[in-house]
Chains A and B, each alone.
Chain A
Amino acid sequence: MTTLTRQDLNFGQVVADILCEFLEVAIHLILYVREVYPSGIFQKRKKYSVPVQMSCHPELNQYIQDTLHCVKPLIEKNDAEKVVVVIMDKEHHPVERFVFEISQPTLLSISSDTLLSHVEQLLRAFILKISVCDAVLNNNPPGCSFTVLVHTRDAATRNMEKVQVIKDFPWIVADEQEVHMQEPRLIPLKTMTSDIVKMQLYVEERAHKT
């Protein structure tokens, strides 16, 4: 058993990599399940030894990758509190918010082997839960779009504004109307606890969608 601290950046990078990979798969799956884009652009691929749906559209994929590329340094430093995938209707009012609450323990104690296969199993459970979430959610109105918000701790955003992680991909402070939803209903989906990260996924849904 090795004990690592947050300063051990190598390990922080590993965790950030795992989480960003997972978030990419999760975002694609949310877009598929909630029918934000037509299912024709999605293709079955394999991740964590199970089939998942990923989009083939290059611009969409690039957008998601760029987004997560910028989020990664925040996760590394444990500055990201929540990553939220917001689905908005035509008037840009949020209809659904998939909230991934992430927290990492400051002092990590890991054992070498079992860690990653266990984490894989947990992430697989998340993927499965997202696949069946339409049982608990109402249908979205047509013509929805999506965006990704990141809630950070402290003043991490100030650093983000100074340093543009990806050129021509700026992050701006979100509008009030995107952040807050009218009459939200909270539906918890899944929780996971592991040595390296604790994650919770819940959905905030607007009571009246159409």
Chain B
Amino acid sequence: MDELYLDNIDEFVNDHDKIVTYKWLSLTLGVHVNTAKQMLYHYLDHKRKESSAQLHATYLVSGKFEDNGQTGHKVSVVKEDQLEDFKSKMSLVVSVHVYSVQKALLKDSGPLYSVDYDAVKDNLKNCTKFSAIRCASAVPMSSLELQQARQIHQVPAPEPEHKKPAMNGEANASKPSTKPQKGIMGMFASKAAPKNQDNVKDIKTEQKEDTPVAEAPKSKPAAKANPMMNFFGTQTAKKPDKTEKKEEAAHSSSSAEVQRQSSQPEEKREAPAMQPPKDTKKEARSKSKRVVDSDSEEEKMEKKKRRRIKKPEPDSSDEDVIPDSPQQMKTREPSPSPEKEVEPVSHSPSQGNSQKTRKRRRVLKARTFVDDEGCIVTEKCYESESYSETEDDVQATKQASRDPVPAKRPASHKPDEKKSQKKTSANANKGSKQASIMGFFQKK
């Protein structure tokens, strides 16, 4: 091939200070992408030999990559200095080629996308003209086919949408997971609601097979299905599960079910709950293992709390159940181990009380006590307190940070607790700032 292209690329890179990607080059010069890649390689080689201006390049590396025993195919754009390192980490390198050449050292990959954006946009109809990826059956649809496709699409769409507002009446939807939801929902859109329960049970048994855990067979699959469901489900999702649970009311583990349903992260309150068991089936398998490990030991704790929720459930509105549950789950998920220690110390009497009937909440109180070295320490921590109105308790994350601290000193706490209890009750009226000063004077 003639040498003009070298001058062309030189002009683009040095005179215009452009970032020349292989895709942009192929569209600009009207050559096949592989030719463009070779051109860039030759240019880079040529310039490096001359060692004139400082050029930077990025490479596209693709190959097999092993990650914790699982092999996958990885395609990556890497900077030149990371190239060798990256190649050595891959088990099999399938292809390496120059992705772009530019004068500037790029700090991030954003401009690479911008470069191709306009070039592709200008050639939208035939952007694959010079591409190496081909598929014989990928042809644009004719307008008639387009219309038909739209009509078919519109028919199942109203169905899930109809359910959607019912589900999401009180919940927030977050976008990322609605997409996979819709795709899966489309598959199940035709199934009627009564079948829901049967399907839930089927999924439960499936999950049971997937993740063998030594526990009551019914409870475990149920527990697994419900956490998954509750990752994505909303309050109304509980209703089909509630009915199921009532059927199994005799089993103590059934309370574990409810607990999971009601107190699970409505952190992610998403899409149609009618199909949540089915929808989250895929995620269920991947997540069930994680959830199982962290929740298995806490189940016993939870059972106690959740039983309370279980009874007044039909009466209380869903909104009231929510406030406590994210708080619990948030503290649980980030730090499962400190939680176990903490719970016997301070949580057990007060958890799971966020309904209208029971009025108890956690209050930030300052506690002063003498520590091992004889220093007076003022600590702010949560203690439960009963009150007469419902109120949201939002400080879940603070709990996690505060509670492990008392957990670390169980011995010194208990005698101090009594002392400090008196102080806190005395100081509660005076406000947190004065509490510390009062503590100073009272100590001695």
Which residues in A have some Cβ–Cβ distance to B below 8 Å? 32-33, 39, 44, 49-53, 121, 124-125, 127-129, 131-136
Contact of A124 among B17, B105, B114 (CB under 8 A): B114
A8 to B110, CA, bound (A): 38
Q: Which residues of A contact B103 (CB under 8 A)?
A: 132, 135-136
Chain B hits for A132, CB < 8 A:
17-19, 102-104, 106, 111
Is B114 a contact of A51 with CB atoms below 8 Å? yes
Q: Is the CB of B111 within 8 A of A128?
A: yes
> Which chain B residues (102-138) contact chain A, with CB distance < 8 Å?
102-111, 113-115, 117-118
Max chain B Cβ within 10 angstroms of own Cβ: one of A50, A129, A135: A135
Tell me the complex Cα distance, A127–B114, Å.
9
A105 to B111, CA, bound (A): 31
Task: Evaluate contact between B104 and A133: CB separation under 8 angstroms.
Answer: yes
Contacts of A131 in B (CB 8 A): 104, 106, 110-111, 114
What separation, in Å, do the CA atoms of A129 and B111 have in the docked complex? 9
Chain B residues lying within 8 Å of A134, measured Cβ to Cβ, are: 104-105
User: With A124-B117, A128-B115, A135-B17 in contact, do A50 and B110 touch (Cβ < 8 Å)?
Assistant: yes
Tell me whether chain A's interface is mostly helix, strand or loop, or mixed. helix
Please measure, in the bound complex, the distance between the C-alpha atom of A115 and the C-alpha atom of B118, giving whole angstroms.
16
Q: Roughly how many angstroms separate A131 CA and B111 CA in the complex, as a whole number?
A: 7
Give chain B's interface secondary structure class. loop
Which of B107, B109, B115 has the most chain A CB atoms inside 10 A of its CB? B107
Q: How far is the CA of A125 from the CA of B111 in the complex (A)?
A: 10
Q: Across the two chains, which residue of chain A brings its CB closest to B19?
A: A132
Which residues of the other chain, B, contact A124 by a CB distance below 8 angstroms?
114, 117-118
Complex: how many Å from CA A39 to CA B114? 20
| Distance from A42 Cβ to chain B, minimum over Cβ atoms (Å) | 9
Closest to B55 in A: A135
A133: min CB distance to chain B, Å: 7
Q: Which residue in chain B gives the minimum CB-CB distance to A32?
A: B107
6 A-B pairs with CB atoms under 8 Å apart are A50-B113, A52-B110, A124-B114, A124-B117, A131-B104, A132-B106
- Assess A136 versus B17: contact at CB under 8 Å? Given A50-B110, A131-B106: yes
Do residues B108 and A53 form an inter-chain contact, with CB atoms below 8 A? yes
Instruction: Give Cα distance in the complex from A124 to B115, angstroms.
Output: 9
Asked whether A50 lies within 8 Å of B114 as measured between CB atoms, the reply is yes
Chain A residues positioned under 8 Å from B107 (CB to CB): 32-33, 39
How many whole Å from A90's CB to the nearest CB in chain B? 23
Cβ of A117 to closest chain B Cβ, rounded Å? 10
Report Cα–Cα, A128/B108, bound state, in Å.
12
- Please report the C-alpha to C-alpha distance between residue A105 and residue B68 in the assembled complex, in whole angstroms: 62
Q: Does A135 contact B104, Cβ atoms closer than 8 Å?
A: yes
The residue of chain A having its C-beta at the shortest distance from the C-beta of B53 within the complex is A135
Contacts of B18 in A (CB 8 A): 132
Q: Which residues does chain B contribute within 8 Å of A44, judged by CB atoms?
A: 108, 110
Which of B17, B111, B113: most chain A CB closer than 10 A?
A: B111
Cα(A127)–Cα(B115), bound, Å: 11
**Given A128-B115, A135-B17, A136-B17, A51 and B110 contact (CB-CB distance below 8 Å):** yes
Q: Which residue of B lies closest to A44 (CB)?
A: B110
Instruction: Determine whether the beta carbon of A49 is less than 8 Å from that of B102.
Output: no
CB distance from B103 to the nearest CB of A (A): 4
Residues of B within 8 A of A50 (CB): 110, 113-114, 117
For A33, give the chain B residue with the smallest CB separation.
B107
User: How distant is B397 from chain A, measured CB to nearest CB, in Å?
Assistant: 19
Q: In the docked arrangement, what's the CA distance between A132 and B57, Å?
A: 13
Cα-based distance from A191 to B164 in the complex (angstroms) = 49
Q: A55 to chain B: closest CB distance in Å?
A: 14
Given the complex of chains A and B, what is the CA–CA distance between A8 and B359 in angstroms? 61
CB distance from B107 to the nearest CB of A (A): 7
B111: chain A residues within 8 A (beta carbon) = 128, 131-132
- Pair B117/A49 contact, Cβ less than 8 Å: yes
Query: Min CB distance, B57 to chain A, in Å?
Result: 13
> When chains A and B are docked, how far (Å) is the Cα of A50 from the Cα of B120?
13
CA distance A135 to B102 in the complex (A): 9
Interface string of B1-31 (1 = CB under 8 A from A): 0000000000000000111000000000000
In the assembled complex, the Cα of A128 lies from the Cα of B117 at a distance in Å of: 11
Roughly how many angstroms separate A135 CA and B114 CA in the complex, as a whole number?
Answer: 17
Q: How far is the CB of A150 from chain B (nearest CB, A)?
A: 28
Instruction: Give chain B nearest CB distance to A34 CB in angstroms.
Output: 10
CA–CA, A136 to B16, complex, Å? 11
Closest to A136 in B: B17
Contacts of A32 in B (CB 8 A): 107
